[in-house]
Chains A and B, each alone.
Chain A
Amino acid sequence: MPFPQKSHPRWLRLDNAAKIYPAARNEKWSNVFRMSATLRDEIDTAVLRRAWEVTIKRVPFLAARLRKGVFWYYLEPVTEVPIISEERSCPLAPMSKKETRRCAFRVIAYRRRIAIELFHSLTDGSGATIFLKTLTAEYLEQRYGVSIPAEAGVLDRRQSPVPVEWEDSFLKHAGTLAATRKDRTAYRLHGTPERSSFLRLTCFQLPASAVVEKAHQYGVSVTAFLCAAIMQAAARIQQDDTPELHRRKPIKVLLPVNLRPLFGSTTLRNFALYCKPEILPALGDYTFEEICAVVKAKLDSEVTAKQMSMQIAVNVRDERPLAIRVMPLFIKNMVMKAVYHSVGEKKACLCLSNLGAVTLPASMTPYVERMDFVLGVQATTPYNCGVLSFGDTLYLNMIRNIREPILEQQFHCVLQELGLTPTVESNEKE
């Protein structure tokens, strides 16, 4: 049987992390992120559409639409494959409620690039990577007749969906002890808002081996290294902004942590939490080594199964009481939106999400030139940062919705001081 039978539920609850996204979205923050793969030849959209039709049968709950119940949102597989979208001048066009009701993801073809943009309620970066790899593998098989094995994150499209791929791993791995939510407000980067929802993307390309070597020189991982560089850059911006020490606010960066390796989960849905390293510029100027030490200590102490289970317990605890469950959805939405916009975004300067080294089956590698990961900006936080490595190149995509490239300039200076010279490209208007 070439295609899998219908062997998955007809609908699915949102996982624990996904519940905030439909409630908190507005015209400035539609909670969409992008992954893309640039191939060596121009994309054949007819073949891509056929590949897409096959892939969505394999991952029906990544290729889904968002529906509204009386008490909660839920997911349904799409009934028909939407058209392939055209690329715009900037990524991550807002996804309206009407669009997510029809299909909560997009496939975009532009020259040699296949991009997918997903509403965050479907999955996180790791799940999206698997989706994109599987789609690209199916496309290459159909276009060139190559046989690509189901390895290195590529799923077997002829196999039925597996139940562990759609489990809510948060509920499964919630601990018994809940952590506290207390947190200080972070420094907010700011600038002149960009009109007409245009997002400015700057891509820093670095030799991955050079970054790894540099990170090891400081005794930290690549994620910690990049996080420290961004924190250094943000601290310098605040130094110019706020000369008085005592008025400076903490610099914090949200680092999503993939929980799958910690708990042995193979779910394709959201299963990530955040670690938030923090420096306190009010105590004085930090050296780069000091920031690396702070980030490393935070990651080492928090990224363990026990600590993460406490974080999961906090989130899961909030959705379990009967009073919450029977509250009508529109009241839940209002409360979650109000709480998130008054508290949520103030707790970090930006998010830095590193998907690490993306590998492909050997038979796919000759056809794929590069991959990119782009996060969307949030409502009041103007910056976000998506990172991955492919081959020997690290692609750091910094996106913003303000005109001035304040963070990019400082970040570039920090990298140069560390002996790294990135190549920079962007989608700046001509």
Chain B
Amino acid sequence: MYCAHCGVRLADSERHCPLCGTKAYHPDLPSPTGERLYPPHRDPAPPSHSLGFAIVATAVFVLALVTVLACDLRFYGSVTWSGYTAGAILLAYVVFILPTWFRAPHPSIFVPCSFGAAACYLLYIDLATHGHWFLSFAFPVVGGLGLLTTAFATLLRYLKKGKLYVFGGTVAALGAFMPLVEWLQHLTFAGSVAMGWSFYPLTALLLGGGALLFLAICRPAREYMARKFFI
């Protein structure tokens, strides 16, 4: 049989032309039924997840934690500076190493975990320094950023299209979040509610987010940018 599109002479086993993909068909000839060169394709099993890195990294972090606490207890008899260092080590572990224990870590689980760990660390610092700023400042800021980042990471992971909308919306939302951060800052630390510095990131991020949303909506603009900035 010959390919109707490119004229290639096909072996009896070929259902499609390997050179152009056209289905092998002739109205006067029977469908190809020859023996295929190889068995049909089956998607391979996903590769097994190697835990070597996670185990080694955990061991390194545990060693660092124990060393820091041991030094502090040895020289000062109680947990002083080592509490902050240990907290930072634990935070770094939750953010960077904990996801490596899993083959396909879900962002909707690990991003909130990371922000939760950050909130716990800040709570420890607040309690250790008697700052009284956790509930009125740190918790809402970390919570807000955590919600925004979780939404961003989850949408990016599961949406097949519309990624520019996600980026644009996230950047704009971050900009809109800045006045809230400044208001909480003034409420907790300065006492008054005069808005000042948040105007600048608000403007910049709203403009950036707006530009990304415009590119998402306007296809000619998108193509123009792709032509100018391709790598």
Contacts and interface: CB of A to CB of B under 8 A. Distances in A.
Interface of A: 87-91, 110-111, 196-198, 200-203, 205, 405, 408-409, 412, 416, 421-430
A427 B17 CA distance: 11
Interface of B: 6-11, 13-20, 35-44
14 contacts: A87-B39, A111-B35, A196-B44, A409-B20, A412-B19, A416-B7, A424-B17, A424-B18, A427-B37, A428-B16, A428-B18, A429-B41, A430-B15, A430-B41
B11 A424 contact: yes
B43 A427 contact: no
A89 B41 CA distance: 5
A423 B18 contact: no
Which 3 A-B pairs have CB atoms at the shortest separation, nearest pair first? A425-B11, A426-B18, A89-B41
A430 B24 CA distance: 12
Contacts of A409: 6, 19-20
B7 to A, nearest CB: 8
Contacts, number: 74
Contact of A425 (B13, B20, B42, B44): B13
A88 B39 CA distance: 6
A90 B36 CA distance: 11
A424 B14 contact: yes
Nearest to A428: B18
B97 to A, nearest CB: 24
Given A89-B38, A90-B38, A203-B37, 10 more contacts: A87-B39, A408-B18, A408-B19, A409-B20, A421-B9, A423-B9, A424-B11, A424-B14, A425-B13, A425-B18
A333 B17 CA distance: 42
Contacts of B10: 423-425
B185 to A, nearest CB: 49
Nearest to A408: B19
B26 to A, nearest CB: 15
Nearest to A112: B35
Contacts of B13: 425
Contacts of B16: 428, 430
Which of B11, B13, B40, B42 has the largest number of chain A CB atoms within 10 A? B11
Contact of A110 (B6, B20, B39): B39
A196 B43 contact: yes
A206 to B, nearest CB: 10
Which of A412, A423, A426 has the largest number of chain B CB atoms within 10 A? A426
Nearest to B1: A423
Contacts of A201: 37-38
Contacts of A111: 35
A10 B17 CA distance: 50
Contact of A89 (B7, B15, B17, B42): B42
A90 B9 CA distance: 22
B9 A88 contact: no
B39 A405 contact: no
A424 B37 contact: no
Nearest to B35: A111
Contacts of A425: 10-11, 13-14, 18, 37
A89 to B, nearest CB: 4
Given A196-B43, A405-B18, A409-B19, A424 B8 contact: yes
Nearest to B16: A428
B183 to A, nearest CB: 49
Contacts of B43: 196
Contacts of A426: 14, 18, 37
Contact of A205 (B11, B35, B42): B11
B215 to A, nearest CB: 25
